[in-house]
Structure 1
Amino acid sequence: MLIDSHCHLDRIKAAPDEASLKLLLEQAKNRGVDYILCVNVCQSGFEAMKAKVAPFKQVFLSSGVHPLDVQDGLDIEQISAFSTDEQVVAIGETGLDYYYANETKSLQQQCFEQQIDLAVQVNKPLIIHTRDARQDTIHMLKSGHADKVGGVLHCFTEDWDMAKAALDLGLYISVSGIVTFKNAGALRSVIRKVPKDRLLVETDAPYLAPVPHRGEENQPAFVRDVAEFVAELRGEKYEDVAKYTSDNFFDLFHGAAKLVGR
Protein backbone atom coordinates (compact mmCIF):
# COMPACT_ATOMS: atom_id res chain seq x y z
CA MET A 1 0.00 0.00 0.00
CA LEU A 2 1.06 3.54 -0.81
CA ILE A 3 -0.59 6.88 0.01
CA ASP A 4 -0.40 10.18 -1.83
CA SER A 5 -0.47 12.39 1.25
CA HIS A 6 -1.01 15.66 -0.62
CA CYS A 7 -2.58 16.45 -3.98
CA HIS A 8 -5.24 18.65 -5.56
CA LEU A 9 -7.56 16.38 -7.51
CA ASP A 10 -9.92 19.26 -8.24
CA ARG A 11 -7.16 21.03 -10.19
CA ILE A 12 -6.04 18.17 -12.41
CA LYS A 13 -6.97 19.06 -15.99
CA ALA A 14 -6.91 15.42 -17.07
CA ALA A 15 -9.79 14.66 -14.69
CA PRO A 16 -12.52 17.26 -15.26
CA ASP A 17 -15.44 14.91 -14.52
CA GLU A 18 -16.31 11.78 -12.55
CA ALA A 19 -15.49 9.32 -15.33
CA SER A 20 -12.03 10.75 -15.97
CA LEU A 21 -11.30 11.03 -12.25
CA LYS A 22 -12.32 7.40 -11.78
CA LEU A 23 -9.83 6.41 -14.49
CA LEU A 24 -7.11 8.53 -12.86
CA LEU A 25 -7.71 6.86 -9.50
CA GLU A 26 -7.70 3.43 -11.11
CA GLN A 27 -4.32 4.22 -12.62
CA ALA A 28 -3.10 5.14 -9.15
CA LYS A 29 -4.52 1.94 -7.69
CA ASN A 30 -2.73 -0.08 -10.36
CA ARG A 31 0.53 1.36 -9.08
CA GLY A 32 -0.28 0.48 -5.47
CA VAL A 33 -1.73 3.84 -4.38
CA ASP A 34 -4.67 2.94 -2.14
CA TYR A 35 -5.47 6.29 -0.52
CA ILE A 36 -5.19 9.97 -1.41
CA LEU A 37 -5.49 13.20 0.55
CA CYS A 38 -7.08 15.96 -1.54
CA VAL A 39 -6.06 19.30 -0.07
CA ASN A 40 -8.15 22.47 0.03
CA VAL A 41 -6.42 25.78 -0.70
CA CYS A 42 -9.30 28.24 -1.06
CA GLN A 43 -12.45 28.02 1.02
CA SER A 44 -14.67 29.14 -1.86
CA GLY A 45 -13.61 25.99 -3.69
CA PHE A 46 -14.17 23.50 -0.88
CA GLU A 47 -17.72 22.46 -1.68
CA ALA A 48 -16.96 21.87 -5.37
CA MET A 49 -13.86 19.87 -4.40
CA LYS A 50 -15.88 17.79 -1.96
CA ALA A 51 -18.60 17.10 -4.53
CA LYS A 52 -16.06 16.06 -7.14
CA VAL A 53 -14.40 13.43 -4.97
CA ALA A 54 -17.53 12.33 -3.07
CA PRO A 55 -17.95 9.06 -5.06
CA PHE A 56 -14.44 7.95 -4.06
CA LYS A 57 -14.15 6.86 -0.45
CA GLN A 58 -10.40 6.31 -0.78
CA VAL A 59 -10.03 10.09 -1.00
CA PHE A 60 -9.72 12.10 2.22
CA LEU A 61 -10.07 15.88 2.43
CA SER A 62 -8.72 18.92 4.26
CA SER A 63 -10.23 22.36 4.78
CA GLY A 64 -8.19 25.54 4.86
CA VAL A 65 -6.81 28.61 3.11
CA HIS A 66 -3.40 28.63 1.43
CA PRO A 67 -1.10 31.60 2.20
CA LEU A 68 -1.23 32.62 -1.47
CA ASP A 69 -5.05 32.73 -1.30
CA VAL A 70 -5.47 34.82 1.85
CA GLN A 71 -6.32 37.91 -0.17
CA ASP A 72 -9.63 36.22 -1.01
CA GLY A 73 -10.45 36.22 2.70
CA LEU A 74 -10.71 33.72 5.52
CA ASP A 75 -13.99 32.93 7.25
CA ILE A 76 -12.69 30.75 10.06
CA GLU A 77 -16.20 29.74 11.11
CA GLN A 78 -16.85 28.35 7.64
CA ILE A 79 -13.55 26.46 7.65
CA SER A 80 -14.57 25.08 11.03
CA ALA A 81 -17.93 23.99 9.63
CA PHE A 82 -16.22 22.27 6.72
CA SER A 83 -13.94 20.46 9.16
CA THR A 84 -16.88 18.64 10.75
CA ASP A 85 -17.24 16.48 7.63
CA GLU A 86 -15.90 13.02 8.47
CA GLN A 87 -13.81 12.94 5.26
CA VAL A 88 -11.97 16.09 6.40
CA VAL A 89 -8.95 14.81 8.30
CA ALA A 90 -6.80 17.96 8.49
CA ILE A 91 -6.78 21.76 8.57
CA GLY A 92 -4.96 23.42 5.72
CA GLU A 93 -3.22 23.94 3.47
CA THR A 94 -2.13 26.90 5.54
CA GLY A 95 1.17 28.53 6.39
CA LEU A 96 3.45 31.32 5.21
CA ASP A 97 4.93 32.17 1.82
CA TYR A 98 7.17 35.24 1.76
CA TYR A 99 8.79 34.20 -1.52
CA TYR A 100 5.77 34.76 -3.77
CA ALA A 101 3.69 37.11 -1.60
CA ASN A 102 5.77 39.07 0.88
CA GLU A 103 3.36 41.98 0.45
CA THR A 104 0.62 39.99 2.26
CA LYS A 105 2.93 38.91 5.07
CA SER A 106 0.81 40.36 7.88
CA LEU A 107 -2.43 38.93 6.51
CA GLN A 108 -0.79 35.53 6.03
CA GLN A 109 0.29 35.51 9.66
CA GLN A 110 -3.22 36.39 10.84
CA CYS A 111 -4.76 33.60 8.78
CA PHE A 112 -2.12 31.10 9.81
CA GLU A 113 -2.65 31.90 13.48
CA GLN A 114 -6.41 31.45 13.13
CA GLN A 115 -6.02 28.09 11.41
CA ILE A 116 -3.52 26.83 13.99
CA ASP A 117 -6.00 27.77 16.70
CA LEU A 118 -8.80 26.01 14.83
CA ALA A 119 -6.74 22.85 14.38
CA VAL A 120 -6.16 22.70 18.14
CA GLN A 121 -9.85 23.32 18.82
CA VAL A 122 -11.09 20.57 16.50
CA ASN A 123 -8.16 18.23 17.22
CA LYS A 124 -7.09 17.80 13.62
CA PRO A 125 -3.51 18.06 12.32
CA LEU A 126 -2.19 20.88 10.18
CA ILE A 127 -1.01 20.77 6.57
CA ILE A 128 1.65 23.47 6.37
CA HIS A 129 3.11 25.33 3.41
CA THR A 130 6.24 27.34 4.13
CA ARG A 131 8.62 29.19 1.85
CA ASP A 132 11.21 31.80 2.83
CA ALA A 133 9.51 32.01 6.23
CA ARG A 134 11.39 29.52 8.36
CA GLN A 135 11.68 31.49 11.58
CA ASP A 136 8.11 32.81 11.58
CA THR A 137 6.64 29.43 10.64
CA ILE A 138 8.29 27.60 13.53
CA HIS A 139 7.63 30.45 15.97
CA MET A 140 3.94 30.56 15.14
CA LEU A 141 3.57 26.79 15.36
CA LYS A 142 5.23 26.84 18.78
CA SER A 143 3.24 29.77 20.12
CA GLY A 144 0.01 28.28 18.78
CA HIS A 145 0.70 24.93 20.49
CA ALA A 146 0.54 23.03 17.21
CA ASP A 147 2.38 20.21 18.95
CA LYS A 148 -0.96 19.29 20.53
CA VAL A 149 -2.35 18.16 17.19
CA GLY A 150 0.71 17.68 15.00
CA GLY A 151 0.99 18.33 11.33
CA VAL A 152 3.18 18.06 8.26
CA LEU A 153 5.48 20.42 6.40
CA HIS A 154 4.37 19.41 2.94
CA CYS A 155 6.47 19.50 -0.24
CA PHE A 156 9.50 20.10 1.94
CA THR A 157 12.31 22.14 0.35
CA GLU A 158 13.97 23.72 3.38
CA ASP A 159 17.26 22.92 5.15
CA TRP A 160 18.04 20.45 7.93
CA ASP A 161 17.76 23.10 10.66
CA MET A 162 14.16 23.74 9.59
CA ALA A 163 13.44 20.03 9.41
CA LYS A 164 14.94 19.45 12.85
CA ALA A 165 12.89 22.29 14.37
CA ALA A 166 9.73 20.79 12.87
CA LEU A 167 10.61 17.29 14.05
CA ASP A 168 11.22 18.62 17.54
CA LEU A 169 7.64 19.93 17.48
CA GLY A 170 6.38 16.47 16.61
CA LEU A 171 5.70 17.36 12.98
CA TYR A 172 6.18 15.20 9.91
CA ILE A 173 8.13 15.94 6.74
CA SER A 174 6.58 15.19 3.35
CA VAL A 175 8.69 14.79 0.23
CA SER A 176 7.41 15.47 -3.29
CA GLY A 177 8.76 14.93 -6.80
CA ILE A 178 11.15 17.84 -6.26
CA VAL A 179 13.54 15.36 -4.63
CA THR A 180 14.02 13.71 -8.04
CA PHE A 181 15.07 16.95 -9.77
CA LYS A 182 18.70 17.35 -10.84
CA ASN A 183 19.25 20.44 -8.68
CA ALA A 184 17.84 18.86 -5.49
CA GLY A 185 21.13 17.79 -3.91
CA ALA A 186 20.63 19.82 -0.74
CA LEU A 187 17.10 18.49 -0.28
CA ARG A 188 18.28 14.93 -0.76
CA SER A 189 20.77 15.33 2.06
CA VAL A 190 17.92 16.38 4.34
CA ILE A 191 15.60 13.56 3.32
CA ARG A 192 18.32 11.03 4.06
CA LYS A 193 18.33 12.24 7.68
CA VAL A 194 14.59 12.34 8.40
CA PRO A 195 13.62 9.49 10.76
CA LYS A 196 11.54 6.87 9.04
CA ASP A 197 8.69 7.33 11.52
CA ARG A 198 8.28 10.99 10.44
CA LEU A 199 8.41 10.78 6.64
CA LEU A 200 5.53 11.01 4.15
CA VAL A 201 5.45 11.00 0.35
CA GLU A 202 3.25 13.11 -1.91
CA THR A 203 2.74 14.35 -5.45
CA ASP A 204 1.27 17.84 -4.92
CA ALA A 205 -0.49 17.02 -8.20
CA PRO A 206 -1.10 18.54 -10.65
CA TYR A 207 2.19 20.29 -9.94
CA LEU A 208 5.83 19.12 -9.73
CA ALA A 209 5.73 15.85 -11.64
CA PRO A 210 8.73 13.71 -10.68
CA VAL A 211 11.35 12.27 -12.98
CA PRO A 212 10.64 10.47 -15.34
CA HIS A 213 7.42 12.43 -15.88
CA ARG A 214 8.85 15.96 -16.03
CA GLY A 215 6.76 18.13 -18.32
CA GLU A 216 3.62 16.08 -17.74
CA GLU A 217 0.70 16.99 -15.54
CA ASN A 218 1.30 15.32 -12.19
CA GLN A 219 -1.14 12.71 -10.84
CA PRO A 220 -1.42 10.45 -7.78
CA ALA A 221 -0.01 7.42 -9.62
CA PHE A 222 3.32 9.22 -9.79
CA VAL A 223 3.77 9.08 -6.02
CA ARG A 224 5.13 5.60 -6.73
CA ASP A 225 8.06 7.23 -8.54
CA VAL A 226 8.69 9.49 -5.55
CA ALA A 227 8.63 6.57 -3.12
CA GLU A 228 10.94 4.47 -5.30
CA PHE A 229 13.40 7.35 -5.53
CA VAL A 230 13.29 7.90 -1.77
CA ALA A 231 13.94 4.21 -1.19
CA GLU A 232 17.03 4.29 -3.41
CA LEU A 233 18.19 7.57 -1.86
CA ARG A 234 17.96 6.20 1.67
CA GLY A 235 19.28 2.73 0.83
CA GLU A 236 15.99 1.09 1.76
CA LYS A 237 13.59 -1.31 0.06
CA TYR A 238 10.66 0.24 -1.77
CA GLU A 239 8.25 -2.03 0.09
CA ASP A 240 9.56 -0.78 3.42
CA VAL A 241 9.21 2.88 2.39
CA ALA A 242 5.66 2.25 1.17
CA LYS A 243 4.75 0.60 4.45
CA TYR A 244 6.24 3.06 6.90
CA THR A 245 5.07 6.16 5.01
CA SER A 246 1.55 4.69 4.94
CA ASP A 247 1.73 3.87 8.64
CA ASN A 248 2.96 7.40 9.31
CA PHE A 249 0.04 8.84 7.34
CA PHE A 250 -2.49 7.06 9.52
CA ASP A 251 -0.57 7.89 12.69
CA LEU A 252 -0.78 11.58 11.81
CA PHE A 253 -4.22 11.73 10.24
CA HIS A 254 -6.16 9.86 12.90
CA GLY A 255 -9.46 10.75 11.25
CA ALA A 256 -8.41 8.83 8.16
CA ALA A 257 -7.30 5.91 10.33
CA LYS A 258 -10.78 5.73 11.87
CA LEU A 259 -12.44 5.79 8.45
CA VAL A 260 -10.49 2.76 7.28
CA GLY A 261 -10.58 0.93 10.59
CA ARG A 262 -6.91 1.16 11.50
Structure 2
Amino acid sequence: MYLIDSHCHINFEGLGNRLPELFENMTKNQVKQALAISVSRETFAEVRDIAERHDHIFASVGIHPDNPNAAEFTFDELVQHAQHPKVIAIGETGLDYHWCSGDLTWQHERFITHIQAAKHAKMPLVIHTRKSADDTLRVMQEHQAEQAVMHCFAEDTRIAKIALDLGYYISFSGIVTFKNAKDVQAAAQYCPLDRILVETDAPFLAPTPHRGKQNEPAYVLHTAEFLANLRGDSLENIAHATCENFYRLFPKATRLAA
Protein backbone atom coordinates (compact mmCIF):
# COMPACT_ATOMS: atom_id res chain seq x y z
CA MET A 1 0.00 0.00 0.00
CA TYR A 2 1.13 3.53 -0.73
CA LEU A 3 -0.37 7.00 -1.18
CA ILE A 4 0.21 9.95 -3.51
CA ASP A 5 -0.12 13.58 -2.47
CA SER A 6 -1.77 14.99 -5.58
CA HIS A 7 -1.26 18.67 -4.69
CA CYS A 8 1.41 20.35 -2.55
CA HIS A 9 3.68 23.39 -2.58
CA ILE A 10 6.96 22.00 -1.32
CA ASN A 11 8.95 24.92 -2.72
CA PHE A 12 7.18 27.31 -0.29
CA GLU A 13 8.89 28.81 2.74
CA GLY A 14 9.14 26.33 5.58
CA LEU A 15 9.11 23.31 3.28
CA GLY A 16 11.61 24.01 0.52
CA ASN A 17 14.46 24.34 3.03
CA ARG A 18 13.77 20.95 4.63
CA LEU A 19 13.11 18.63 1.73
CA PRO A 20 15.17 15.69 3.09
CA GLU A 21 13.06 15.73 6.26
CA LEU A 22 9.83 16.00 4.26
CA PHE A 23 10.80 13.05 2.12
CA GLU A 24 11.77 10.97 5.15
CA ASN A 25 8.39 11.72 6.73
CA MET A 26 6.65 10.75 3.51
CA THR A 27 8.40 7.39 3.54
CA LYS A 28 7.39 6.78 7.17
CA ASN A 29 3.74 7.42 6.25
CA GLN A 30 3.83 5.40 3.01
CA VAL A 31 3.40 8.50 0.85
CA LYS A 32 5.52 7.51 -2.12
CA GLN A 33 4.95 10.31 -4.65
CA ALA A 34 3.74 13.90 -4.80
CA LEU A 35 2.75 16.53 -7.34
CA ALA A 36 4.40 19.91 -6.66
CA ILE A 37 2.17 22.67 -7.96
CA SER A 38 3.27 25.83 -9.72
CA VAL A 39 1.51 29.10 -8.84
CA SER A 40 3.64 31.77 -10.52
CA ARG A 41 5.95 32.45 -13.41
CA GLU A 42 8.72 33.47 -11.02
CA THR A 43 8.69 30.24 -9.01
CA PHE A 44 7.98 27.71 -11.77
CA ALA A 45 11.69 26.96 -12.14
CA GLU A 46 11.90 26.08 -8.42
CA VAL A 47 9.05 23.60 -8.75
CA ARG A 48 10.42 22.10 -11.96
CA ASP A 49 13.93 21.79 -10.52
CA ILE A 50 12.70 19.94 -7.43
CA ALA A 51 10.91 17.48 -9.71
CA GLU A 52 14.00 17.10 -11.88
CA ARG A 53 16.17 16.26 -8.86
CA HIS A 54 13.78 13.78 -7.25
CA ASP A 55 12.25 10.84 -9.08
CA HIS A 56 9.19 10.68 -6.82
CA ILE A 57 8.17 14.32 -7.33
CA PHE A 58 6.25 15.66 -10.32
CA ALA A 59 5.50 19.27 -11.29
CA SER A 60 2.81 21.41 -12.85
CA VAL A 61 2.99 24.73 -14.68
CA GLY A 62 0.52 27.55 -14.12
CA ILE A 63 -0.42 30.90 -12.61
CA HIS A 64 -2.68 31.07 -9.55
CA PRO A 65 -5.84 33.14 -10.10
CA ASP A 66 -5.55 35.32 -7.00
CA ASN A 67 -3.01 37.94 -8.18
CA PRO A 68 -4.11 40.48 -10.81
CA ASN A 69 -0.54 41.75 -11.20
CA ALA A 70 1.11 38.36 -11.70
CA ALA A 71 3.46 37.95 -14.64
CA GLU A 72 1.66 35.77 -17.16
CA PHE A 73 2.65 32.72 -19.14
CA THR A 74 1.55 32.99 -22.74
CA PHE A 75 -0.36 30.15 -24.37
CA ASP A 76 2.81 29.12 -26.23
CA GLU A 77 4.90 29.17 -23.05
CA LEU A 78 2.43 26.99 -21.17
CA VAL A 79 2.42 24.49 -24.04
CA GLN A 80 6.21 24.54 -24.21
CA HIS A 81 6.70 23.99 -20.47
CA ALA A 82 4.12 21.20 -20.53
CA GLN A 83 6.47 19.20 -22.77
CA HIS A 84 9.00 18.81 -19.96
CA PRO A 85 9.06 15.13 -18.92
CA LYS A 86 8.42 15.89 -15.24
CA VAL A 87 5.61 18.41 -15.87
CA ILE A 88 2.40 16.39 -15.76
CA ALA A 89 -0.33 19.04 -15.43
CA ILE A 90 -1.29 22.64 -16.18
CA GLY A 91 -2.35 24.76 -13.21
CA GLU A 92 -3.25 25.52 -10.68
CA THR A 93 -5.70 27.75 -12.46
CA GLY A 94 -9.31 28.77 -12.08
CA LEU A 95 -11.36 31.52 -10.50
CA ASP A 96 -11.17 33.08 -7.03
CA TYR A 97 -13.87 35.50 -5.87
CA HIS A 98 -12.68 35.43 -2.25
CA TRP A 99 -9.45 37.37 -2.73
CA CYS A 100 -10.46 39.18 -5.92
CA SER A 101 -13.45 41.37 -6.78
CA GLY A 102 -14.53 44.04 -9.26
CA ASP A 103 -13.82 43.59 -12.94
CA LEU A 104 -12.34 40.10 -13.13
CA THR A 105 -11.95 39.96 -16.90
CA TRP A 106 -8.21 39.43 -16.39
CA GLN A 107 -8.87 36.40 -14.19
CA HIS A 108 -11.25 34.81 -16.68
CA GLU A 109 -8.81 35.45 -19.54
CA ARG A 110 -5.95 33.86 -17.59
CA PHE A 111 -8.13 30.84 -16.86
CA ILE A 112 -9.19 30.47 -20.49
CA THR A 113 -5.57 30.63 -21.64
CA HIS A 114 -4.74 27.74 -19.30
CA ILE A 115 -7.71 25.71 -20.55
CA GLN A 116 -6.74 26.26 -24.18
CA ALA A 117 -3.11 25.37 -23.50
CA ALA A 118 -4.10 22.19 -21.68
CA LYS A 119 -6.30 21.10 -24.56
CA HIS A 120 -3.55 21.80 -27.08
CA ALA A 121 -0.91 20.00 -25.00
CA LYS A 122 -3.34 17.18 -24.11
CA MET A 123 -2.64 17.75 -20.43
CA PRO A 124 -4.96 17.66 -17.41
CA LEU A 125 -5.87 20.83 -15.53
CA VAL A 126 -5.51 21.45 -11.79
CA ILE A 127 -8.46 23.66 -10.86
CA HIS A 128 -8.65 26.21 -8.05
CA THR A 129 -12.07 27.63 -7.21
CA ARG A 130 -13.08 29.74 -4.22
CA LYS A 131 -16.53 31.30 -3.92
CA SER A 132 -16.74 30.84 -7.68
CA ALA A 133 -17.62 27.20 -8.27
CA ASP A 134 -20.57 27.72 -10.61
CA ASP A 135 -18.68 30.22 -12.76
CA THR A 136 -15.57 28.04 -12.74
CA LEU A 137 -17.46 25.03 -14.04
CA ARG A 138 -19.40 27.17 -16.52
CA VAL A 139 -16.18 28.52 -18.04
CA MET A 140 -14.74 25.01 -18.19
CA GLN A 141 -17.84 23.75 -19.95
CA GLU A 142 -18.01 26.69 -22.38
CA HIS A 143 -14.37 26.24 -23.35
CA GLN A 144 -14.58 22.44 -23.39
CA ALA A 145 -12.00 21.76 -20.71
CA GLU A 146 -11.19 18.07 -20.86
CA GLN A 147 -9.37 16.17 -18.11
CA ALA A 148 -9.29 18.11 -14.82
CA VAL A 149 -9.25 17.79 -11.06
CA MET A 150 -11.14 20.07 -8.70
CA HIS A 151 -8.33 20.60 -6.22
CA CYS A 152 -8.89 21.09 -2.46
CA PHE A 153 -12.62 20.47 -2.83
CA ALA A 154 -14.55 22.66 -0.40
CA GLU A 155 -18.01 22.63 -2.00
CA ASP A 156 -21.20 20.64 -1.56
CA THR A 157 -22.66 17.61 -3.29
CA ARG A 158 -24.42 19.74 -5.92
CA ILE A 159 -21.11 21.13 -7.19
CA ALA A 160 -19.49 17.71 -6.95
CA LYS A 161 -22.23 16.24 -9.15
CA ILE A 162 -21.76 18.94 -11.81
CA ALA A 163 -18.01 18.36 -11.88
CA LEU A 164 -18.40 14.59 -11.98
CA ASP A 165 -20.98 14.80 -14.75
CA LEU A 166 -18.46 16.80 -16.78
CA GLY A 167 -15.95 13.99 -16.31
CA TYR A 168 -13.70 15.67 -13.77
CA TYR A 169 -12.00 14.31 -10.66
CA ILE A 170 -12.42 15.54 -7.08
CA SER A 171 -9.44 15.94 -4.75
CA PHE A 172 -9.98 16.05 -1.00
CA SER A 173 -7.60 17.87 1.32
CA GLY A 174 -7.41 18.15 5.10
CA ILE A 175 -10.60 20.23 4.98
CA VAL A 176 -12.64 17.03 4.80
CA THR A 177 -11.35 16.09 8.29
CA PHE A 178 -12.59 19.33 9.90
CA LYS A 179 -15.60 18.93 12.21
CA ASN A 180 -17.55 21.75 10.58
CA ALA A 181 -16.99 20.53 7.01
CA LYS A 182 -20.27 18.61 6.77
CA ASP A 183 -20.99 19.60 3.16
CA VAL A 184 -17.54 18.49 2.06
CA GLN A 185 -17.93 15.23 3.95
CA ALA A 186 -21.27 14.59 2.27
CA ALA A 187 -19.65 15.22 -1.10
CA ALA A 188 -16.85 12.80 -0.19
CA GLN A 189 -19.43 10.12 0.55
CA TYR A 190 -21.25 10.86 -2.73
CA CYS A 191 -18.24 10.72 -5.07
CA PRO A 192 -17.58 7.41 -6.79
CA LEU A 193 -14.33 5.82 -5.71
CA ASP A 194 -12.87 5.96 -9.21
CA ARG A 195 -12.96 9.79 -9.24
CA ILE A 196 -11.36 10.64 -5.88
CA LEU A 197 -7.84 11.90 -5.21
CA VAL A 198 -6.21 12.96 -1.93
CA GLU A 199 -3.93 15.92 -1.33
CA THR A 200 -2.44 18.12 1.35
CA ASP A 201 -2.18 21.56 -0.32
CA ALA A 202 0.86 21.81 1.96
CA PRO A 203 1.90 23.98 3.69
CA PHE A 204 -1.77 24.89 4.17
CA LEU A 205 -4.81 23.15 5.65
CA ALA A 206 -3.18 20.46 7.77
CA PRO A 207 -5.69 17.69 8.53
CA THR A 208 -6.80 16.66 11.98
CA PRO A 209 -4.85 15.80 14.20
CA HIS A 210 -2.36 18.42 12.93
CA ARG A 211 -4.88 21.18 12.23
CA GLY A 212 -3.37 24.63 12.75
CA LYS A 213 0.17 23.41 12.16
CA GLN A 214 2.25 23.57 9.00
CA ASN A 215 1.09 20.90 6.59
CA GLU A 216 3.38 18.55 4.67
CA PRO A 217 2.92 15.70 2.17
CA ALA A 218 3.24 12.97 4.83
CA TYR A 219 -0.02 14.15 6.38
CA VAL A 220 -2.06 13.04 3.39
CA LEU A 221 -2.21 9.72 5.26
CA HIS A 222 -4.59 11.30 7.79
CA THR A 223 -6.92 12.51 5.04
CA ALA A 224 -6.95 9.07 3.45
CA GLU A 225 -7.66 7.42 6.81
CA PHE A 226 -10.53 9.84 7.44
CA LEU A 227 -12.01 9.17 4.00
CA ALA A 228 -11.82 5.43 4.61
CA ASN A 229 -13.74 5.75 7.88
CA LEU A 230 -16.21 8.22 6.41
CA ARG A 231 -17.00 5.93 3.48
CA GLY A 232 -16.94 2.70 5.47
CA ASP A 233 -13.98 1.48 3.45
CA SER A 234 -10.46 0.26 4.19
CA LEU A 235 -7.40 2.48 4.03
CA GLU A 236 -5.83 0.00 1.64
CA ASN A 237 -8.74 0.32 -0.78
CA ILE A 238 -8.73 4.12 -0.60
CA ALA A 239 -4.97 4.17 -1.17
CA HIS A 240 -5.15 1.81 -4.14
CA ALA A 241 -8.04 3.67 -5.75
CA THR A 242 -6.63 7.16 -5.31
CA CYS A 243 -3.26 6.10 -6.72
CA GLU A 244 -4.90 4.46 -9.73
CA ASN A 245 -6.99 7.59 -10.25
CA PHE A 246 -3.86 9.73 -10.08
CA TYR A 247 -2.12 7.70 -12.78
CA ARG A 248 -5.25 7.74 -14.94
CA LEU A 249 -5.65 11.51 -14.68
CA PHE A 250 -1.92 12.24 -15.01
CA PRO A 251 -0.68 9.67 -17.54
CA LYS A 252 2.80 11.24 -17.73
CA ALA A 253 3.41 10.32 -14.08
CA THR A 254 5.78 7.41 -13.65
CA ARG A 255 3.96 4.53 -12.01
CA LEU A 256 5.69 2.84 -9.11
CA ALA A 257 6.47 -0.84 -9.49
CA ALA A 258 3.99 -3.11 -7.76
CA distance 1:229–1:12, change in 2 (3 Å): farther
Which letter does structure 1 place at the counterpart of 2:198?
V
The whole-number CA distance in structure 2 between the counterparts of 1:92 and 1:109 is 14
Give the Cα separation in 1 of the matches to 2:55 and 2:193. Answer: 27
CA RMSD of aligned residues (A): 1.5
Displacement of 1:135 in angstroms is 2.2
Please state how far the C-alpha of 1:216 moved relative to its aligned partner: 1.4
The CA distance in 2 between the partners of 1:133 and 1:152, in whole Å, is: 15
Identity within the alignment, %: 40
Partner of 1:31 in structure 2? 29
Asked whether the 8 Å contact 1:12–1:205 carries over to 2, the reply is: no
CA distance in 2, matches of 1:102, 1:155: 21
Distance 1:58 1:83 in 2: 18
One-letter identity of the residue aligned with 1:13: G
Matches within 5 A, 1:187-202: 187-202=184-199
Q: Is the 8 A contact 2:63 2:73 kept in 1?
A: no
1:12 and 1:191 mapped to 2: Cα distance?
A: 30
State the AA in 2 paired with 1:88: V
After superposition, the C-alpha distances for 1:146-201 in whole angstroms (9 at most, x for unaligned) are: 13xx1100000112111111111110000000111121111111110000000000
TM-score by length of 1: 0.93
Q: Which residue of 2 aligns with 1:58?
A: 56
C-alpha displacement at 1:12, in angstroms?
4.5
Distance (Å, rounded) in 1 between the aligned partners of 2:64 and 2:15: 23
The aligned counterpart of 1:252 is 249
| d(CA) in 2 for partners of 1:261, 1:103 | 50
Instruction: Provide the TM-score with structure 2 as the length reference.
Output: 0.95
- Separation of aligned partners in 2, 1:142 and 1:13: 37
Match of 1:113 in 2: 112
Task: Provide, for residues 115-156 of structure 1, a one-character-per-residue CA deviation record: whole Å limited to 9, x for no partner.
Answer: 000000000000000111122211111121113xx1100000
| Number of aligned residues | 256
Structure 1 counterpart SS, 2:104: helix
Distance 1:104 1:71 in 2: 14
Q: Any idea what SS the aligned residue of 1:68 has?
A: coil
**1:81 aligned partner, one-letter code:** Q
For residue 208 of structure 1, the aligned residue among 205, 212, 234 is 205
Which secondary structure does the structure 2 equivalent of 1:69 belong to?
coil
64-73 or 121-130, larger mean C-alpha shift: 64-73
Aligned to 2:144: 145
- Greater helix content: 1
Deviation at 1:72, TM superposition (A): 1.1
Deviates more, 1:158-167 or 1:231-240: 158-167
What residue identity is the alignment partner of 1:163?
A
The 1-side partners of 2:123 and 2:20 are apart by 28
Post-superposition Cα deviations, 1:210-238, rounded to whole Å, max 9, x if no partner, equal 11011211000000000000100111001
1:237 is aligned, of 234, 237, 251, to 234
Residue of structure 2 aligned with 1:166, choices 163, 167, 179: 163
Distance 1:14 1:75 in 2: 25
Amino acid at match of 1:2: L
Q: Residue 71 in 1 paired to residue 69 in 2?
A: yes
Gaps of 5+ in 1: none
- 1:4 equivalenced with 2:2 (yes/no): no
1:217 match: 214
- Quote the Cα distance in structure 2 between the aligned partners of 1:101 and 1:250: 33
Kept in 2: contact 1:70–1:111 (CA 8 A) = no
